Amino acid sequence: MLSEEEKNKIIKTVTQSSTFQKVTTGAALLKYLAKAEIEDTFLKEDIIDIEFFGKKDKPDKSNTRVRVSMYNLRKKLDDYYANEGARNEWHVVIDKGQYSVRYKKKVDAKLKTGQFIGKHTLIYAAFAVFIISLIIVNQPPKKPKVWEEFINNKTTLFIGDAFGMRGNTITGQPGFTRDYNINSIEEYYKFIEGKPELKNQLKPAYYQYFTGMGAFATRDIAQLFTPYHRRFDIKFDSNTSLDDIKNGNAIYAGPLLTNCKFIPFFNDANEHFKVSRYTLTIKDVPNMKDTTINISTTGKTMDYAIVSKYPGPMGTEHFVFFSNHDMGVSATVEYFTNIDSLKQFTKQHLEGHKNFTALFKAHGRERTSLDLKLLWVFPFN
């Protein structure tokens, strides 16, 4: 494994080469990506766009400068290692579609002196390589450790949605009404019992209302499952029974403020952590002060996110993503379905452990996360 000093030396050799001498943007971008890899910083296109190229008043969804710059950087690296860097022991690689650098050791493919390969042997060898390549290409990638149980077995994604009522809104017109204290059909009827005068004015809204986090989480998890030709069911939390949750592995992506059904399961499985609609309580954790964190934020520029993988009921597994606004859940689901960031997280925090609870802080604007920071991780079995 390369040390930080060795990585910096490799990057310095590349950026000071004649190939990169006139490519100032490419050299600077390579240094930026290498520094992020050393510091284990999670990168994505909009983060690079703002941090490296400079902030803009309004994000331009059609802006392609990050992708173009990454394409040009990969091309320059290919040119460098095809010519003046051909003899380098280590090569800097940026895989297509990724933003992190990795270091690949060059394999000496020279034949031993005096070795002779016949014409037919070369043909057979080339054919064998072709067949092996086809097999490798058509094989799915290795299943990530934290997702393996969910990919291999029956799994349901539960999306946190808001229970609502149909009736006249504050404008006097028929519409959807949301009350944070009414989060199920049972709570609705209890409310109506106390306010019988509203019985003819309100009805349960038998359709789902959820924010962007549910859609983004579904997209990212589906992309993770696709290479393994595996599917998962989707249910909405407000229409979910406890039997549904016990019927297989469960993933939850949604807010806590709806008093979701996964709060008690999380609290039962986590000895040192308890969540409620607005708080996270930490108790008796080594090297961590007992405290209660208010995770209820305005949601405009900052959002806390709790991610936990823990044993569920009846031998099942749970993987939950909690936050009270879009930024936290969307950013952490993306983080845990990205192969690069997931690999680093597993290597650094889950050595010898199967389960964990982690707290993240997401920063952004317009409910879109632009920066995700891991505050702490508590692994357990």
CA 251, CA 274: separation in Å to the nearest integer?
Answer: 18
Mean pLDDT computed over 207-225: 87
Say yes or no to pLDDT of 269 above 50. yes
Which of 111-115, 140-144, 376-380 bottoms out in mean pLDDT, i.e. has the lowest?
111-115
pLDDT category at 117 given cuts 50, 70, 90 is very low
Query: In CATH, what number does 145-161+209-380 get?
Result: 3.30.379.10
CA 92, CA 78: separation in Å to the nearest integer?
Answer: 10
Residue 136 token pair: 């490798």
The confidence score (pLDDT) of residue 135 equals 54
Mean pLDDT computed over 19-37: 91
In order of 323, 336, 374, the CA distances from 360 in angstroms are 10, 12, 5
The tens digit of pLDDT for each residue in 292-324 reads 999 887 657 889 999 999 999 999 999 999 998
The confidence score (pLDDT) of residue 111 equals 40
| Cβ density class 3-41: b for 16+ within 10 Å, e for less | eeeebeebbebbbebebbeebeebbebbebbbebbeeeb
Mean pLDDT computed over 149-173: 91
pLDDT category at 368 given cuts 50, 70, 90 is low
Residues in the chain, how many? Answer: 381
- Residue 227 gets which letter from DSSP? G
The confidence score (pLDDT) of residue 238 equals 83
Q: Are 306 and 357 in contact (CB under 8 A)?
A: yes
Mean pLDDT computed over 102-114: 64
Say yes or no to pLDDT of 245 above 80. yes
Unique residue bearing structure tokens 């992020």? 36
Average pLDDT across the chain, whole number: 86
Mean pLDDT computed over 180-206: 87
Residue 361 token pair: 């802080």
Q: Are 265 and 244 in contact (CB under 8 A)?
A: no
CA 287, CA 260: separation in Å to the nearest integer?
Answer: 30
The confidence score (pLDDT) of residue 22 equals 83
Which residues have C-beta within 8 Å of that of residue 368, sequence separation ≥ 6? 46, 59, 326, 327, 330
pLDDT category at 88 given cuts 50, 70, 90 is very high
Residue type, 288: M
Q: Which residue has the higher pLDDT, 227 or 162?
A: 227
- Domain spans, the chain: 4-105, 145-161+209-380, 165-204
Say yes or no to pLDDT of 6 above 80. yes
Q: Which of 344, 355, 307 is closest to 328 using CA atoms?
A: 307
Say yes or no to pLDDT of 31 above 90. yes
Q: Are 140 and 228 in contact (CB under 8 A)?
A: yes
Q: Which residue has the higher pLDDT, 40 or 6?
A: 6
The confidence score (pLDDT) of residue 108 equals 57
Mean pLDDT computed over 147-161: 94
Mean pLDDT computed over 272-282: 94
Mean pLDDT computed over 26-47: 89
